[in-house]
Amino acid sequence: MASGAFLKSLQKGQILHAVVEEVTSPTEALCNFQGELLLIFNHTGQTLKKNDPIRLQVKQVDPLQFQVFDPRQLKFERVV
């Protein structure tokens, strides 16, 4: 999983270009960002698959929360 130092370095608004490593359930996926693994909870209704590219934006740092860019639309979809 992601190191504490990496998690503390994240800033609100930062965009991460990651890859889905494993889909653990319909609402959870393990994503790889430059060797750091992030377990995300997918509440978008968007189906994720292994090796899908995913763009995450840091919405909040404490507690850590992301939004995911829907590749089909320009608007954000919420991911917690």
pTM (predicted TM-score): 0.77
Contact between residue 63 and residue 69 where contact means Cβ atoms under 8 Å apart: no
Per-residue pLDDT of the chain (80 residues; tens, 9 = 90+): 788 898 889 999 999 999 999 999 988 999 999 999 999 988 888 889 999 999 998 999 988 898 887 655 545 444 44
Range of the domain at 49: 4-79
DSSP 8-state class, residue 2:
-
Q: Is the dihedral of CA 45, 50, 53, 58 positive or negative?
A: positive
Q: Return the CATH number at 19.
A: 2.40.50
Domains: count for the chain? 1
pLDDT, residue 70, reads 62
Contact between residue 57 and residue 66 where contact means Cβ atoms under 8 Å apart: yes
